[in-house]
Amino acid sequence: MKKLIPLALVLSLLVAPVCAAHVGSPDVYFQGDAGPYHLVVMIRTPQMIPGVAEFEIRSDTPGIREIKIVPLYIAGEGSKFPPPPDIVKSVAGDPQLFAGKLWLMGSGSWQVRIEADGDKGSGTVAVPVSAYARNTLAMQRGLGILLFGLMSLLVVAIVSIVGAAKREGQLQPGELLTPRQKRRARLVMAATLLAVVGILVLGNMWWRVSAANRAERMIYVAPKLGVTLDPAGRMNLEIGDSKWHSSRTEIVGTVLIPDHGHLMHLFLVREPAMDRFYHLHPERTGTMTFTDDLPAVEGGHYKIFADIVRASGFPDTLVAVMDLPNIPGKPLAGDDSAESGPAIGDAARSGTISPLSNGAHMIWERDSTPLVSNRLTWFKFRVVDAAGKLASDLEPYMGMAGHAEFIRSDFSVFAHVHPDGSIPMAAFSLAEATLGANSDSSQAPAETMPGMVMMKARETAAPSEVAFPYGFPKPGLYRIFVQVKRAGKIETGVFDANVN
């Protein structure tokens, strides 16, 4: 460092509540093989737990007669005793599409086992699903009006009964009420009304406190992330405690495991323009602390996303914000990458071609069909060299053909997606491991996690094209960062997408 960064710029920030795995993007998109059948799976997770998840399974391989699905936990005792499977038939008129619903009875790291049976035999694949309550559901307006009316009727009835008891309860047959008795009855009715209203107010206060306490235990909130910048230009990160996680140690876990060879994937995106993007991998310095010697960073207000995976396969995306000065930084190395570009919405990135280094380009192969939210879409990208020929120097990037980050312009959506889908690969490996043996894989040491074995198995030459299955969770303007590795250098294509 040529000069020290003023200590006044050191900040410690806390995350806001976000969704697991991604921010604002809870649905699951996956492609994989169930034996001889290649399946593309979409699972819409419920907002509340217990809740009903909706799923669609499309087979690229014809001949499937029947699909069986079983939801169960990835880790803990719940992973050892699967319930009887549900049998799913194909959708009328489309023999390769299967759809249905399934119950997720508790929060945690689930898997949905899919067994396909058909002309080519049978096969099974396990798809990880993170289940958690996201919010409370509002009461239906009609039901609320009905209950309020019944409560009002009950209050009137109580006040009337007490008033009648005071007026006529001690009268002899044929005796008339005196004005004094009438006044006393009215006073008693007024006091009764105040008492009943007071009880209702106190009851409502108790109910709100009780509901808030229950929501704290039941509704998922990502752990807090403390971020500081020291004078040497190192970013220090600390993952805070989470009652939600610590109360579910068996089915969620607190220990971290590597995903694509790293315990944390850190993304810095300058807001609001999204014109600076950094994908970094901090080193762990303690149980829940990390540090990163930042590369050269252009100053500005940055949104910070930190992806981690728990021992059960449950992922968290932690969020923070930070004002960074200009940092000379260290040269990029390893799997770290950086990208600069125009502001989101700029015409230079609104098309289907993004420039790479040495005259190469990344091309988004999309047709003229408008992008629609809540629909599975294949995002296909092709890399060509300066001569316009398909690139021949692509290689695996952290064990995958590529990585993509989908970010909405207001940062309410952040999704880190791979060619196999939106799930963490470490979670997929843990789920797949349970198919061979019903053991508690969450207790395996991090360095022997199946995710690492799978990643090594993928270390083969990558083609010149990469595709990602994903669905935008809501309309809006999005920026897509697509990352590949060419001849040892990480390249990032940048595209903007308007979603209806």
Do the beta carbons of residue 253 and residue 231 sit within 8 Å?
no
pLDDT at 21: 55
- Whether 23 is covered by a domain: the verdict is no
* pLDDT tens per residue across span 114-131: 999 999 999 999 999 999
For residue 101, the Cα-to-chain-centroid distance in whole angstroms is 20
Q: State whether the Cα torsion 212-216-218-219 is positive or negative.
A: positive
Q: What's the angle, vertex CA 78, arms to CA 429 and CA 443, rounded to 5?
A: 50
| Total number of domains in the chain | 3
Q: pLDDT tens digits, residue range 202-225?
A: 999 998 888 887 777 788 888 999
**Residues 388 and 490 both lie in one domain:** yes
Quote the percentage of the chain above a pLDDT of 90: 65
Dihedral sign of CA atoms 56, 61, 66, 70 in order? negative
Looking at 112, 131, 150, the residue that finishes a domain is 131
Token readout for 93 is 């008129």
Which residues, in sequence order, are CB contacts of 214 under 8 Å at separation 6+?
none
Task: Give the pLDDT confidence score for residue 447 in this predicted structure.
Answer: 36
Measured distance CA(68)–CA(138) in Å, rounded = 34
Is 55 part of a structural domain of the chain?
yes
Is residue 448 predicted with pLDDT exceeding 70? Answer: no
2 in a structural domain: no
Are 158 and 58 in the same domain?
Answer: no
Task: Say which DSSP state 455 is in.
Answer: H
pLDDT greater than 80 at residue 398: yes
pLDDT tens, residue by residue, 220-276 = 888 999 999 998 889 999 999 888 888 888 788 789 999 999 999 999 999 999 999
Angle (CA) 449 294 284, round 5°: 30
pTM of the model: 0.82
Query: What mean pLDDT is predicted for residues 149-172?
Result: 87
Domain of 62: which CATH number?
2.60.40.1930
Nearest in space to 276 (alpha carbons), one of 317, 235, 304, 308? 304
* Rg, C-alpha atoms of the chain: 29
Residue finishing a domain among 105, 131, 157: 131
Residue bearing tokens 């040269």 = 331
199 and 256 part of one domain: no
Does residue 54 belong to any structural domain of this protein?
A: yes
Question: For 8-55, what is each residue's pLDDT tens digit?
Answer: 333 333 333 444 457 899 999 999 999 999 999 999 999 888 999 999
Q: What is the pLDDT of residues 139-150, one digit of tens each?
A: 888 998 999 999
Shared domain for 288 and 363, answered yes or no, is yes
Per-residue model confidence (pLDDT) at position 471 = 95
In a domain, residue 136? The reply is no
For residue 139, give both structure tokens.
Answer: 């009461």
∠ CA(19), CA(21), CA(419), 5° rounding? Answer: 140
DSSP result, 177-198: PPHHHHHHHHHHHHHHHHHHHH
Domain boundary among the residues 85, 109, 131 is at 131
| 232 domain-assigned | yes
Asked if the model's pLDDT at residue 444 lies above 50, the reply is no
Same domain, yes or no, for 172 and 229?
no
Give backbone dihedrals phi and psi of 302, rounded to 5 degrees, phi first: -115, 140
The verdict on 207 and 105 lying in the same domain is no
Q: Give a yes or no: residue 1 inside a domain.
A: no
Residue 172, in any domain of the structure: yes
pLDDT band at 347 (very low <50, low <70, confident <90, very high): low
Structure confidence by residue, pLDDT tens digits, 164-202:
888 887 777 777 878 887 888 889 899 999 999 999 999
- Both 419 and 404 in one domain: the answer is yes
Expressed as residue numbers, the domain containing 328 is 7-18+221-499
**H/E stretch holding 147:** helix 141-168
| Residues 325 and 418 grouped into a single domain | yes
Q: Yes or no: say if 5 and 229 are a contact pair by the CB < 8 Å rule.
A: yes
Task: Tell me: do 240 and 297 sit in the same domain.
Answer: yes
Q: What integer is the mean pLDDT of 459-481?
A: 86
Structure confidence at residue 242 (pLDDT)? 86
Residue 376 and residue 433 share a domain: yes
Question: Does residue 458 register a pLDDT over 90?
Answer: no
Q: What is the mean pLDDT of the chain?
A: 86
* Residue 305: closest CA among 266, 337, 247: 266
Is 204 found in the same domain as 235? no
Based on the domain organization, do 197 and 268 belong to the same domain?
Answer: no
